[in-house]
């Protein structure tokens, strides 16, 4: 079913990130987050193409030279869309507009533990469900926390506090993988559609690197699991 459709994974790589400087390209467990992501995506059979979307001319040259003749290539991002002046909605719409594909798979480097099998499951779920009211599929994490906003509990009654496992089934987007049609991405200006379906991944797969502490912890865990235990991530 997916053979007749072009399915493209896009890896966004912005140089000069503020909280963790160049986190996608700096050394990480004898590799980089970008190279780890590319290697994992190359195992996903459903993908027609893997694009590294970046504002770095040097990285564009390196990727296109390193993967010449294969399905991995780099795409130069306009500087505005790599700046803090660009909103998230503008960024997503732009990615859709510059990506020649039928189905768009958003796969940031900052989720280094998500497996090829999970990405395949997201794609297959989208292909199966898209004609039945679903317009996007994204990975999520289960949130079993006692949440408060503006001085009020929002997911439980403090007078009758439940056990944590009995809290409502709230999920949080972790952006490990999102699948959506290119048309819907452009019109909705987001990788999440109006009628999303969610795939809950494992706690380790859901790890997202956003701060220097996240980077350090993720690197130590990656080394532990992939070097000392030869890739056992469950």
pLDDT in tens, 53-89: 999 999 999 999 999 989 999 999 999 999 989 999 9
Closest CA to 91 of 161, 10, 164: 10
Whether 21 maps to a domain, the answer reads: yes
Cβ-proximal residues to 66 (8 Å cutoff; 6+ apart), any chain: none
Q: Is residue 163 part of a domain?
A: no
Cα 62 to Cα 78: distance, rounded to the nearest angstrom:
18
Q: Which tens digits make up the pLDDT trace of 21-36?
A: 788 989 999 999 999 9
Mean pLDDT for 148-164 is 96
Number of domains in the chain: 1
Rounded Cα distance between 111 and 127, Å, is 23
Which H helix or E strand runs over 221?
helix 212-223
> Is residue 117 domain-resident?
yes
Looking at the predicted structure, is the pLDDT value of residue 16 above 80? no
* Exposure on the CB side of residue 15, measured as CA atoms within 13 A: 13
Residue 71 within any structural domain of the chain = yes
Which pLDDT belongs to residue 2? 41
Is 209 a domain residue? Answer: yes
Q: Report the candidate in 65, 61, 67, 76 with the shortest Cα–Cα distance to residue 13.
A: 76
- CATH number for 131: 3.90.550.10
Distance (Å, rounded) from C-alpha 123 to C-alpha 127?
6
Q: What stretch of H or E contains 61?
A: helix 57-66
- Please check whether residue 204 lies inside any domain of the structure: yes
**232 in Cβ contact with 225 (< 8 Å):** yes
Beta-strand relationship, 103-106 and 7-13: parallel
Domain assignment of residue 86, given as a range: 2-140+172-228
Position 200 in a domain:
yes
| pTM, 2 dp | 0.90
């Amino acid at each position: 079913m997916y053979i007749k459709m072009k399915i493209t994974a896009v890896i966004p790589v912005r140089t000069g990130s503020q909280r963790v400087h160049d986190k996608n390209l700096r050394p990480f467990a004898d590799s980089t987050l970008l190279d780890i992501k590319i290697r994992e995506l190359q195992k996903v059979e459903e993908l027609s193409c893997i694009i590294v979307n970046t504002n770095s001319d040097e990285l564009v040259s390196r990727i296109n030279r390193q993967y010449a003749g294969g399905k991995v290539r780099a795409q130069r991002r306009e500087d505005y869309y790599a700046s803090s002046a660009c909103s998230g909605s503008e960024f997503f719409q732009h990615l859709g507009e510059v990506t020649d594909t039928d189905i768009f798979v958003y796969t940031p480097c900052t989720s280094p533990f998500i497996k090829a099998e999970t990405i395949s499951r997201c794609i297959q779920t989208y292909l199966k469900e898209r004609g039945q009211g679903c317009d996007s599929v994204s990975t999520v994490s289960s949130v079993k926390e006692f949440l408060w906003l503006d001085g009020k509990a929002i997911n439980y009654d403090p007078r009758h506090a439940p056990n944590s496992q009995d809290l409502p089934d709230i999920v949080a987007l972790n952006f490990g993988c999102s699948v959506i049609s290119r048309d819907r991405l452009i019109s909705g200006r987001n990788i999440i559609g109006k009628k999303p379906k969610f795939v809950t991944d494992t706690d380790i797969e859901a790890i997202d690197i956003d701060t220097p502490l996240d980077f350090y912890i993720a690197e130590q865990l990656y080394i532990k699991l992939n070097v000392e235990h030869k890739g056992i991530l469950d």
